[in-house]
């Protein structure tokens, strides 16, 4: 590991390191920008997957005993290199991965700006601009989804999992006000929530954390095409009611993590209305389709949701983490998260984020979406999701042409496929990932082992789709 550099010999005094003078600050920025530019521009030439071992990383880190300060240039160079070598590159145009995007550069800049200004969003009075920016975005995105404009409420979250937890806490507090004081034991029966077997299994952790227990999550079977089977849902629900349980909430997933399938949202909304259940739509990735006039109809029914989860750090490509929780019940959020203390500044009851959400100290997570949206516009995001959707269609077509069977009928760009002879696809994924040429994964779709490739990088071009198809042959 490099510890000496020709550009700077001595470490900087601690106080001068915490706030360098403008000349040194600029020098550090320029050096860092140089390292990062080399990384960003060189990403397509690097293997997508790191070839590191835990042992090598720990050996490298052992040299950081933090006993003495180190010269900045050497540390910056080494730390960036360490991160670059030890990361799966979502910046690579052939990362056909989980919903982790190549980060939008305005979002990267926005994170830098946010970190520099460091607004504390717990209370409105500490960060009025940042709180209002997030409110503006929540209302904008909720509007795209067709939620009733007058009542759109919500906030940014660390990600989809926190947003889903927020949905369950809100739904339970609203259905059973005694839950606020006396917890799950105040419910008239064992709480139950319903999500499809292909939903995101953070629901299990959430049920655990709320004290409902993992058995509160009813994983309803799918219909043979990866969508929730509504008849099966009605049956489980009737059984639970007959057994004296307390059904609370139905989750429609709009873009399953495994296969990008969209549950029948309108039918679920009807059922929730009939049964007086909270309807939550988990659109962590797929919600971005609302930006496109052509794709928005796939989400029909989302406008009837009592709450929606969406992640800007997935299809909207801002750096992690930036989840959104949207709902139509600001008073319900307050009822769920209210608290007052001696030391918190006197709040604006309807606006303070710490009394309306799970987090207390709160980073300005929305600013990266704000800056990206301001720079590329709504039309830019529409073009992003439409381009990737077309690339997904292209991949589907090319796979079929080259003898693969595509199994998941989604309009969105997640493609699940296998060989018609049903041979195990896992070795194929392993070979490609180990070669570093591309990144894709395996999953199980309706009981069949499949390969999964998602177009998620704005750096992906049609040639990269061809490269993937070639690598698969």
Quote the tokens at residue 398. Answer: 């090319």
Which is closer to ligand PLP, CB of 166 or CB of 257?
257
Cα 337 to Cα 348: distance, rounded to the nearest angstrom: 14
The answer to the question of residue 323 lying near ligand PLP (CB under 6 A) is yes
| CB atoms closer than 10 angstroms to residue 80 | 17
Phi-psi region of 460 (alpha: psi -120 to 50; beta: other; left: phi over 0): beta
Which is closer to ligand PLP, CB of 98 or CB of 113?
98
Cα 12 to Cα 25: distance, rounded to the nearest angstrom: 12
Q: Map the footprint of ligand PLP across residues 251-290, applying CB under 6 A.
A: 253, 257, 282, 284-285
Segment near ligand PLP (CB under 6 A); pick from 35-43, 153-161, 400-408, 448-456: 153-161
Q: Measured between alpha carbons, how far is residue 175 from residues 179, 202, 247, 249, 332 in Å?
A: 9, 22, 10, 9, 10
Return the closest-CA partner of residue 385 out of 396, 376, 374, 375: 376
Q: Min. distance of Cβ 412 from ligand PLP in angstroms?
A: 11
Which is closer to ligand PLP, CB of 282 or CB of 352?
282
Residues in contact with ligand PLP, counted by CB under 6 A, come to a total of: 14
The contact mask relative to ligand PLP for 392-421 (x = CB under 6 A, - = no) is: ------------------------------
Which is closer to ligand PLP, CB of 277 or CB of 284?
284
Cα 308 to Cα 139: distance, rounded to the nearest angstrom: 12
SS3 annotation, 6-18: CCCCCCCCHHHHH
Which is closer to ligand PLP, CB of 73 or CB of 257?
257
Which is closer to ligand PLP, CB of 73 or CB of 410?
410
Widest CA span in the chain:
77
Q: Binding ligand PLP by CB under 6 A: which of 110, 161, 169, 310?
A: 161
Cα 353 to Cα 357: distance, rounded to the nearest angstrom: 6
Helices (H), 311-425: 330-337, 367-401
Q: Binding ligand PLP by CB under 6 A: which of 311, 329, 352, 464?
A: 311
Q: Binding ligand PLP by CB under 6 A: which of 97, 107, 160, 260?
A: 160
Which is closer to ligand PLP, CB of 284 or CB of 465?
284
- List interacting residues with ligand PLP (CB under 6 A): 99, 159-161, 164, 200, 202, 253, 257, 282, 284-285, 311, 323
């Amino acid at each position: 590991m490099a510890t000496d550099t020709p550009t700077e010999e001595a470490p900087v005094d601690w106080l001068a390191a915490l706030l360098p003078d403008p000349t040194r600050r600029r020098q550090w920025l320029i050096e860092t920008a140089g390292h990062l530019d080399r990384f960003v521009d060189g990403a397509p030439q690097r293997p997508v997957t790191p070839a590191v071992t835990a042992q090598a990383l720990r050996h490298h880190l052992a040299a950081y005993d933090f006993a003495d300060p180190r010269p900045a240039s050497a540390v910056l160079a080494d730390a960036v290199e360490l991160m670059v070598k030890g990361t799966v590159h979502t910046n690579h145009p052939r990362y056909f991965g989980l919903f982790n995007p190549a980060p939008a550069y305005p979002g990267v800049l926005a994170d830098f700006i946010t970190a520099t200004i460091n607004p504390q969003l717990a209370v409105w009075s500490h960060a009025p601009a940042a709180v209002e920016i997030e409110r503006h975005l929540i209302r904008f995105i909720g509007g795209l989804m067709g939620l009733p404009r007058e009542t759109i409420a919500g906030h940014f979250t660390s990600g989809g999992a926190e947003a889903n937890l927020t949905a369950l806490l809100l739904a339970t507090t609203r259905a059973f006000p005694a839950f606020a004081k006396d917890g799950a034991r105040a419910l008239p029966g064992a709480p139950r929530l319903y999500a499809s077997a292909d939903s995101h299994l953070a629901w299990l952790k959430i049920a655990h954390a709320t004290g409902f227990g993992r058995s509160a999550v009813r994983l309803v079977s799918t219909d043979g095409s990866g969508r929730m089977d509504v008849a099966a849902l009605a049956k489980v629900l009737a059984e639970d009611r007959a057994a004296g349980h307390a059904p609370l909430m139905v989750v429609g997933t709009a873009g399953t993590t495994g296969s990008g399938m969209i549950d029948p949202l309108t039918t679920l909304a009807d059922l929730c209305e009939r049964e007086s259940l909270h309807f939550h739509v988990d659109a962590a990735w797929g919600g971005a389709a609302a930006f496109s006039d052509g794709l928005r109809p796939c989400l029909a029914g989302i406008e009837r949701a009592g709450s929606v989860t969406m992640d800007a750090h997935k299809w909207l490509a801002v750096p992690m983490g930036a989840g959104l929780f949207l709902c139509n019940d600001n008073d319900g959020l307050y009822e769920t998260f209210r608290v007052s203390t001696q030391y918190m500044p006197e709040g604006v009851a309807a606006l303070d984020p710490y009394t309306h959400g799970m987090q207390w100290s709160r980073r300005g997570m929305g600013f990266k979406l704000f800056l990206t949206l301001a720079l590329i516009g709504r039309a830019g995001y529409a073009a992003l999701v439409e381009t990737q959707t077309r690339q997904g269609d292209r991949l589907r077509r090319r796979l079929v042409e080259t003898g693969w069977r595509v199994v998941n009928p989604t309009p969105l760009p997640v493609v699940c496929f296998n060989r018609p002879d049903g041979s195990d696809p896992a070795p194929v994924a392993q070979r490609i990932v180990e070669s570093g040429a591309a990144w894709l994964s395996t999953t199980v779709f309706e009981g069949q082992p499949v390969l999964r490739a998602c177009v998620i990088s704005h750096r992906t071009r049609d040639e990269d789709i061809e490269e993937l198809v070639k690598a698969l042959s």
